[in-house]
Chain A
Amino acid sequence: MNASIEKQRHLIDFTLASLARRKTKNLGLLLVYTLLVFVLASVSLYTHALRQEAARVLERSPEIILQRMVAGRHDLIPPGYLERIGRIRGVQTIEGRLWGYYYDPVVKANYTFMAPAAEAVRPGTLTVGPAVARSRGLAPGNTISFRAYSGKLFAFTVAGVLPHASELVSADLVLMGEADFRAFFDYPAGHHTDIALSVANPLEVRTVAAKLAAALPDSRPILREEVLRTYASVFDWREGIVLALLSAAIFAFAILAWEKASGLSAEEKREIGILKAIGWETGDVIKMKLWEGGLVSLTAFLAGFVAAYLQVFRLGAPLFEPVLKGWAVLYPRFELVPAIDGLQVATLFFFTVFPYMAAVLVPIWRTAITDPDSAMRS
C-alpha cells in the first residue's frame, strides 16, 4: 500500500517539475481552461443563487391566489364573492387584496400600488419601496404628487421607505391606505383585485384549489408551488440554454486540449525517449501524463470556480446578469446570498474535466508508445 502511494507521489513530483519546465505552453492551456470553468461556474452559481432567492421570496406568499376571469382576462372581484367562497376546511384566512399598477412618466417606470390589509397606512401618506425612493429621490417627510388615471392630482407625504432587505419584492412598491387607493384609482367600492388564501397543510392545497374551482367556475386559482416550480424551471432552462450555447466553447476547448496534448516539442519527445530508455514502461508514462492532466484540471477548476464565486457574489455578476436575470426599469438591487450546491459542482465537473480528460487520452497514449530510440534519434 505505502509503496504504491510513494510511487504516485514521485510521479506527481516529476510531473510538477516537468510542467514547470514548459511554463508558457502549459500556462496558455491553463488560462483557457480556467476561463472556461470561470464562465460555466458563473452561470451555474448565478442561476442557483437566483433560484434560492425566488424560493426565499415566495416562502411567505399566500398558498393560493384566486383571480376572477372575464373572457379569459383577469378582472376585479365583485362584492359578495368572498362570502360565496364561504368556509372551506383547511383554509386559515381569506383576504381580498387591493393592488394595481401606476405608470410614472417622470422616471418612465411602473410602480405597484397596494393597500395592505395587515398594516394600516395613515390617510394621505405613503410607504415606498427602495427603488422608488432612489429613482425619485425620496426620504421620509417629503411630499410627492401623482396624477391619477382620472386626471386629478393627488399629493402624499412619504411616511417611510421599506427596508433594503426586502428589496427583491418591494423595489417598485408603493403602499397606501385603502381609502386613498380607492380614491386614486376610482376603484369601485366593495371590489378587490384578487383573493389570497392561506392553507396550513401543504397536502391540502390542491384539494382546496379544486373546491375553489368548482365553487367559482369563473375563477382561476394560482398555487404557490406552481409559481415556485415555474421559477425553478425557467431558471434551469435559462441555465441549460446558456450551457448548451457554451457547449460549442467546450467542444472548441476539447479540440485545443487534444492539439496541445498531441503537439509535442522535440524536447518533450526526447524526454519521454530517455524515460523509456532508463526503464519507464508505457503504463508509467501514461500515468505520468494522466497526473499531468489531472493536476492541470484541478488547478484550473479551483481557480476558475473561485474566480466565478468572487465575480457572482462580490461583484454582482456583471457578465451574465442581463441574460439570466431579466430586466426592468426599476430593477431591484439585491445582494445574492452565497450558496454552493453539490449537484452544481458535480455537474460543472462533468462539463469541464470530463471533456478535457476524454480529449487528451488518445494523444497521451500516442506520446507514451513512442519508441525510445526513435525519440532520441530525432
Chain B
Amino acid sequence: MLFQPAIIALLLAAGVAVAMLAAAAPFALQVIRQWDIASGSERQLALERRTYLFSTLAAFVMAVQLVALLLFVFNADRMAEMFVGAMCAVGTLNVNPYGFPALLAQMAVFFLAAAWLAVNHVDTRAPDYPLVRIKYALLLILLPALALTFALQLKYFLGLKADVITSCCGSLFSGDAKGLAAEVAALKPLPAMVLFYGAIAVSAGLTFFHARTQRAGYLAAAASAAAFVATLVGVLSFVSLYIYEHPNHHCPFCILKPEYGHQGYWLYVPLFAATAAGLGVGALQPFRRVSSLREVVPAVSKRLAQAATIGFLLVAAIATAMVARSNLILLE
C-alpha cells in the first residue's frame, strides 16, 4: 500500500529528514571536537559559516516533523475504511505490529524536535553561540530517533495489506480487556476528572508561576509532561464518553472523525502545543546560567511558559465545554 499519496508524502518527509541529518552528522562531530569561538583561524571561520547551513537545515527538518505528526494521525484515521473491521485510526494502526510504535516514535520525535528548536532559538540569539556544541550533540542523538521513526513507518506502511481483519477501538479500549489502555479506560470518571483538572491546574499554575518569577522551571516542565499524560487519561476515561454520548466507547481517535465534527483536533492541537512549550521551558533551564544567555533564556522561557499556560487552560476549557454540551450523564 505504498501508493497512497499521504503515505508517499510522509515517507518522503521522513526520508529527506534522515538524509539531511545524516549529511549534517560528520559536521556535527567536527563542531563538537574543534569549535573554539575565541579562535580566529580559517577553520573556525569555515565552521561558523557552516553552522548557519546546518542550523537552518536542522530547524527545517524539525519543523517538518511537527507537521508530519498531524499528517500521520490524519492519514491513519482516513485509511480506516480500507481495512476490514477498522473504524478509526486504532484499527489502521493495529493492522500490523508496527502501527502504534510508529505513532509513539513520531510523537517522541515531535517533542524532541520541539525541545531542540527551543534550544536552537536561544542559541542563535546570543552573540557568541554558547550552545553550539550541545546543540549538535543533541542533533546526533536525534538522528537515530528520526531514523528509527522512518524505519518504523516504512515497516508499517509496507506491511499494510488491505484484506487484514483488525480489531477496532471497541475491543482495545473497553473496560473488560487487558492491557494498559484498557486499565486506563476502566478508570471511573470521577477520579479521572479529579486527575485531569488537578494536573491541568498544577501545570497551568506552575508555568504561570515560572513566567512571573523565572523559578521552578524543571517543575513546570515535569508538570507539563504529567498534564499531557493526565489529559490522555482523561480523554480515554471521560471526555470521549461525553463526546460520543455513550457510556462504553472510550476511543481517543474516533473523536477526530468528521462524524464528531473533528472535535479531537480542538483538544489535541492545544494539548500538544502546550506540552511542547512546557517541555521547552525545561530544556532551556540548564543554560540559564550561561553568561551570554542570562537575558535571553528568561525572556524566551517566559514566553514559552505563557504559551503553555494558555494552552493548558484552553485544553481544560475545551474539555469542559465538550462535557457541558453533552447529553450524557455520568455523574449523578
Tell me which of B49, B56, B57, B74 contacts A346 (CB under 8 A).
Answer: B74
Q: Which A residues are in CB contact (< 8 Å) with B13?
A: 350, 354
| CB contact list, B43-77 vs A, under 8 A | 49, 52-53, 56-57, 60, 64, 67, 70-71, 74-75
Q: Looking at B4, B6, B10, which has the most chain A CB atoms within 10 Å of its CB?
A: B6
Q: Which A residues are in CB contact (< 8 Å) with B303?
A: 1
| Stretch of A10-18, A139-147, A327-335, A361-369 contacting B (4+ beta carbons < 8 Å) | A361-369
A342, B64: Cα distance in complex, Å: 17
Known: A350-B71, A358-B60. A236 touches B5 (CB 8 A): yes
Q: Looking at A286, A343, A369, which has the most chain B CB atoms within 10 Å of its CB?
A: A343
**Chain A, residue nearest B68 (CB):** A350
A240 lies within 8 A of B4 (CB): yes
Known: A350-B9, A358-B20. A342 touches B3 (CB 8 A): no
Tell me which of A229, A239, A286 contacts B56 (CB under 8 A).
Answer: A286
**Chain B, residue nearest A358 (CB):** B16
A347 lies within 8 A of B53 (CB): no
Q: Which A residues are in CB contact (< 8 Å) with B329?
A: none
Q: What is the minimal beta-carbon distance from A248 to any residue of chain B, in angstroms?
A: 13
**Chain B, residue nearest A289 (CB):** B56
Q: What is the minimal beta-carbon distance from B261 to any residue of chain A, in angstroms?
A: 13
A346 lies within 8 A of B16 (CB): no
Tell me which of A229, A290, A346 contacts B70 (CB under 8 A).
Answer: A346
At the interface, yes or no: A357 with Cβ under 8 Å from chain B? yes
At the interface, yes or no: B166 with Cβ under 8 Å from chain A? no
**Chain B, residue nearest A285 (CB):** B52
B52 lies within 8 A of A351 (CB): no
Tell me which of A229, A351, A365, A369 contacts B9 (CB under 8 A).
Answer: A351
Tell me which of A236, A237, A362 contacts B53 (CB under 8 A).
Answer: A362
Tell me which of A239, A343, A355 contacts B78 (CB under 8 A).
Answer: A343
**Chain A, residue nearest B19 (CB):** A358
A229 lies within 8 A of B82 (CB): yes
Known: A347-B5, A347-B9. A368 touches B74 (CB 8 A): no
Tell me which of A240, A362, A365 contacts B8 (CB under 8 A).
Answer: A240
Q: Which A residues are in CB contact (< 8 Å) with B70?
A: 346
A229, B82: Cα distance in complex, Å: 5
| CB contact list, B70-118 vs A, under 8 A | 70-71, 74-75, 78, 81-82, 84
Q: What is the minimal beta-carbon distance from B10 to any residue of chain A, in angstroms?
A: 8
Q: Which B residues are in CB contact (< 8 Å) with A364?
A: 56
Q: Which B residues are in CB contact (< 8 Å) with A1?
A: 303
At the interface, yes or no: A135 with Cβ under 8 Å from chain B? no
**Chain A, residue nearest B70 (CB):** A346
| CB contact list, B301-324 vs A, under 8 A | 303
Tell me which of B57, B64, B78 contacts A354 (CB under 8 A).
Answer: B64
At the interface, yes or no: A44 with Cβ under 8 Å from chain B? yes
At the interface, yes or no: B330 with Cβ under 8 Å from chain A? no
At the interface, yes or no: A27 with Cβ under 8 Å from chain B? no
At the interface, yes or no: A243 with Cβ under 8 Å from chain B? yes
B81 lies within 8 A of A232 (CB): yes
B74 lies within 8 A of A243 (CB): no
Residues of A within 8 A of B (CB): 1, 44, 206, 228-229, 232-233, 236-237, 239-241, 243-244, 247, 282-283, 286, 290, 342-344, 346-347, 350-351, 354-355, 357-358, 361-362, 364-365, 368-369
18 A-B pairs (CB sep. < 8 Å): A229-B81, A229-B84, A232-B82, A233-B162, A240-B5, A240-B7, A290-B56, A342-B74, A344-B5, A346-B67, A347-B6, A350-B9, A350-B10, A350-B12, A354-B9, A354-B16, A355-B12, A361-B53
Instruction: Across the A-B interface, give the 7 residue pairs with the lowest CB-CB distance, nearest first.
Output: A240-B3, A350-B9, A365-B53, A369-B49, A347-B9, A347-B6, A347-B5
